[in-house]
Each structure stands twice: as structure tokens, then as C-alpha cells.
Amino acid sequence: MSSTVQSLPVELLQCIFDKLSPCDRERATLVCHQWCQVLRSDHYIRRMVLTVTNRNLCSRQMLRRMRRPFRKLNIEDGCVRRALNVVFGHQMAVLRFSRLVGIVYTPGSRLLCTKTFRRRLRAAVELVRMASRRLESLSMRFLDKAMLLDVLEIESFACLRYAGLFAVSNGKDFVKLSALDFGPAHRATLARLDSLEVRDAVNMFGDVFDVIFQGATNLVQLYVSGVDMSPSALAAIHDMKKLKRIHLYIFSLLPRGVNF
């Protein structure tokens, strides 16, 4: 390679690489050490999202790709345990995904009928715990309140700024959250957030929105869709000093005749 090309500044190389497809960028990493360093920098890694499904865990090419650094992990199926074992390699997850700052775990509703779903959720909580120190955003679909409380109780969330909490019903064993469920560790996690999204079509949060909002005092953005919300919860929102953007869609507060 000519010395002229090798001497190009990083900013110019990034402008060129930005126009390439992900496949072409991968080929460019093989050209020289300098190009590889540029393409492995945070400028590109922060855009990289790894989506794990049961289908792509069967592909050798995908498995090789998964061992690269990523900033966000999106698990679409109930394959967390396989992802931990096959992709991350036991406790090596923290090392291989040292730049991971976002996790999305939203399995489809068809998995709710399976007997192994609770075990899969526990594996998801384990994954969050392993990556918690660097996580900046976390979105999870919860089957019951125990899983939600286990995640919010993790004390090593040092960088968490966004949480998406999505409640789904598990049928006859469904139990609503109560104010007594929230301890100091849960409130500390809520206090770190500047953005919170709650989707609660099953009214799991109906009795504790006030507790959550009183703990999440640093919120700048709030999005809530749910069945019910008490006047004390609305008052807690009113008392938020930093809140700049809010979206509330609460069934009990809608005019009659409007569908949820």
C-alpha cells in the first residue's frame, strides 16, 4: 500500500468507511493494521447491534461474528442459556463483551406457554447481572414480578440511564407489584435513570407507579402505557424537577369510549 494512503488522517478514513456496507468494512479490516484499528474503534462498534435468535445460533458464520465486540445485544427468542453457553463461553461474557452497553430481551408471546420460559428468564437475569457494570440501556419483558425485582435489585448498575420495563401476564400465577416489594437497592437503580419506559397492559404496576416515580427523581424522559394510575402517581410526576418529555397513555384516565 502506498505511503500516501497509509498517512491519511483517521477523520478522513472514517468519512470513507462510513459510506461502505458492513460487509465491505469487514474486508477493509484485512488491508492493513491502521484500517483495522479505525474500523474496530468505538466510532463503529457503538453502532453495532448483535441480534441473537434460535435460528442464527445454528450458523457457524454467525457464531464467529458474535465473538466480536458489540455495544448492544438484542435477544429475540428464548435462547439466552444457549447464547451464554455457545456464544459467550461461560464467564468469558464480561471479557468478550467488555464494550456492551445495551441489552434488549423481548421474547415473543408464543414462548409464554412453554414450561421452560421461567428458566430462560432466569438466564436473561444472569446475563444482565454479568454485564451490569457497563450497561447504559436495558429493555426487558417480564413474566412475573420476581424477575423484575431481581433485575432492579442489581447493585452494580453504575452507568444505567435507560430502562424499558414491559409486563406480560403468566396466567393464574400473576401477582401485582406492591409498595413493600421495593427496597433501597431497587430505589437506587431507579434514581440512576434519566429515561424510563413502562408498558403495562396487565396492570402489574398499577399500585406502585407512585413508588417508582418517587424513586426515579432524575428522569428527563418518561413513557408509560398502562391500565391504571393513582392520583399520588400523577402528583409524583408533577414533582419531577428535571422532566422534559412525558407520554402517558393510561386506560383509566382516557375518556369513555376510547379503546386501549
Could you report the per-residue pLDDT of 177-210, keeping only the tens digit for each?
Answer: 999 999 999 999 999 999 999 999 888 999 999 9
The rounded distance, in Å, linking the Cα atoms of 128 and 123 is 9
pLDDT band at 105 (very low <50, low <70, confident <90, very high): confident
SS (H, E, C) 15-32: HHHCCCCHHHHHHHCCCC
Alpha helices in the chain (DSSP H): 3-6, 10-17, 22-28, 33-39, 42-45, 60-66, 80-82, 93-96, 117-131, 145-152, 184-192, 209-215, 231-238
Could you report the per-residue pLDDT of 9-61, keeping only the tens digit for each?
Answer: 777 877 878 787 767 777 777 778 788 778 777 666 666 666 766 666 555 66
Residues 6+ away with beta carbon under 8 Å from 73:
49, 50, 52, 97, 100, 102, 103, 104, 131
Which of 91, 46, 52, 53 is CA-nearest to residue 69? 46
Mean pLDDT for the stretch of residues 124-149: 84
Lowest mean pLDDT among 100-114, 179-193, 208-222: 100-114
Burial of 60 (0-12, 13-18, 19+ CB in 10 A): exposed
